[in-house]
Amino acid sequence: MIQQISKKVPRGSRIDPSSPSLSPEEIARIEAQEEEFGRCCRAIFDQVYPELVKEHYDWFILIEPNSGDYFIAPNHEAALQKARQKHLKADILAMRLNETGTCGRI
C-alpha cells in the first residue's frame, strides 16, 4: 500500500520553491520584447489586411515579423504548416483576417 503525503501549499506561492524566480528587471525585459514583437506583427497585418480581407475573410494569417513573411489559410493548422516549412523555429503570431484580427472570444 502506498502512503500519500499531503503537503499544503499556501495560495499564491510557488509550487516548486527551488526553481529560480525572475527578477523584476528580467520580467520587464521580457514584456518589452513581447510588446515589440506584437507591434511589428500588427504593422505587417495592417499593411496586408486591405488586400487580403476581400477574398479571404475570416481566414487565419500567421506572421513572422523578422522577415516580414505571412502565411494565410482557411484553418490554423494549414497556415501553421506553411509557416513551419519556411520558419522552423521562429516566433510566429496568429491572427484572423476580420475586423479586429482576433482568433476567438475573450
* Per-residue confidence (pLDDT) for residue 103, from 0 to 100: 78
Alpha helical stretches, state H, 53-96: 76-86
pLDDT digits (tens, 9 = 90+) for 56-88: 999 999 999 999 999 999 999 999 999 999 999
Phi-psi region of 48 (alpha: psi -120 to 50; beta: other; left: phi over 0): alpha
* Per-residue confidence (pLDDT) for residue 15, from 0 to 100: 67
- If one counts every other C-beta atom within 10 angstroms of the C-beta of residue 66, the result is 10
The residue whose grid cell reads 515579423 is 65
- If one counts every other C-beta atom within 10 angstroms of the C-beta of residue 45, the result is 19
H helix and E strand count, the chain: 2, 3
* Per-residue confidence (pLDDT) for residue 100, from 0 to 100: 80
Domain boundaries, the chain: 24-96
pLDDT digits (tens, 9 = 90+) for 6-58: 777 677 766 666 667 788 899 999 999 999 999 999 999 999 999 999 999 99
